[in-house]
Structure 1
Amino acid sequence: MSETYRLAELKDAENLLEVTYRAYELIRELGLHWPAATADLALIEDNIATNECYVLEVDGTIVATITLSKEEEIKKISPLPFIKWFAAHPDYSNRGYGGKLLDWVEEHIIAGQLGSTAVTLATAKKHPWLVQMYERRGYERFMELDQQNGDGIMYLMKKTLIDKPQFIQRG
């Protein structure tokens, strides 16, 4: 079994649409207004082109995806890197693939390439297990928001990745 971590490409959009749509079924059932939950092909393609969308492939099949946001609006809330659109294909659930991809992005991209000491994300208070899952992974709530869109309280969560920035020696 081979595992490949990489940036998504536009040719991956249809597969990512299926993964995301299927993974976000509960989000739709809860009535949460998350763009990923009702994304169409054009929105998936825009996410790939605008942000850093990463995937985990197992034997050539995309089983998980996560996006590192490049949106300026997010930086008004927190200057730290912000992850979103995290999804694992339900056909591959309970195999740890989502966690592996999240660990890889935190370690290799956010801490490794960006040299960031922490990362942020947002999730809904009313989701039955996401808040607890992120807390088990070391995330802590640091802000509550209510965008008055019917989603209710959203928690902004932060995880410290390294105690101090790593400096890369060049030359």
Structure 2
Amino acid sequence: MGEVYRLAEQKDAEQLLDITYRAYQLIRELGLHWPAANADLALVEDNISTNECYVLEVSGTIIATITLSKEEEVKKLSSLPFIKWFAVSPEYSNKGYGGKLLDWVEEHIILGQLGSPEVTLATAKKHPWLVEMYERRGYERFLELDLQNGDGIMYLLKKTLINKPHFIQRG
């Protein structure tokens, strides 16, 4: 059947809860207070209805998810589109599927539909590999904050999705 990229539906909520819970095990072990890490079915259903929750299906099975936030509190930090709740089913991690879904959302949704040349996300300084992973994907830190919730330093990262034109000065 191949790969299908689509918006999540309420009928996907139980599957998304399972994927997210298993994918966020390290987040819980690090003591981070991310809503997705301890979500219940009601919170996943709310995420699907409140935001734009996208999934990647392979052969009819959802294996990755990412959310484009529509929540107002995020807009206080940045006017740019903000992605969150990024998770890949552990059996499919490190196989490139998460990167494919992130690329698809950046290209087709954020740049293509919204027309935004940039996107933001947040992650914790104390996570052992997320900051570096996003930086390898072209994200750059632009804000450091401590929400005083026990998570420690959080980074807001931004990525430019289109190349800015280079002006050549001719002499």
Shared fold per TM-score greater than 0.5: yes
Letter in 2 for 1:87: A
* Structural mapping, 1:18-167, within 5 Å: 18-163=18-163
The match for 2:16 is 16
Q: Percent identity among equivalent residues?
A: 84
* TM-fit CA distance, 1:59: 0.3
* TM-fit CA distance, 1:72: 1.1
Letter in 2 for 1:38: N
* TM-fit CA distance, 1:94: 1.6
- Structure 1 gaps of 5+ residues are 165-171
Select the structure of larger CA radius of gyration.
2
- Structure 2 gaps of 5+ residues are 165-171
Q: CA RMSD in A?
A: 0.8
Q: Secondary structure at the match of 1:77?
A: coil
Distance in 1, Cα, partners of 2:93 & 2:70: 28
- Aligned residue pairs total 164
* Structure 1 stretch displaced more, 68-77 or 39-48: 68-77
Distance in 2, Cα, partners of 1:92 & 1:111: 26
Distance in 1, Cα, partners of 2:163 & 2:135: 18
Letter in 1 for 2:51: N
Q: Secondary structure at the match of 2:76?
A: helix
The match for 2:5 is 5
For residues 94-120 of structure 1, what are the alpha-carbon distances to aligned partners after superposition, in whole Å with 9 as ceiling and x for unaligned?
Answer: 211000000000000000000001000
* TM-fit CA distance, 1:163: 4.0
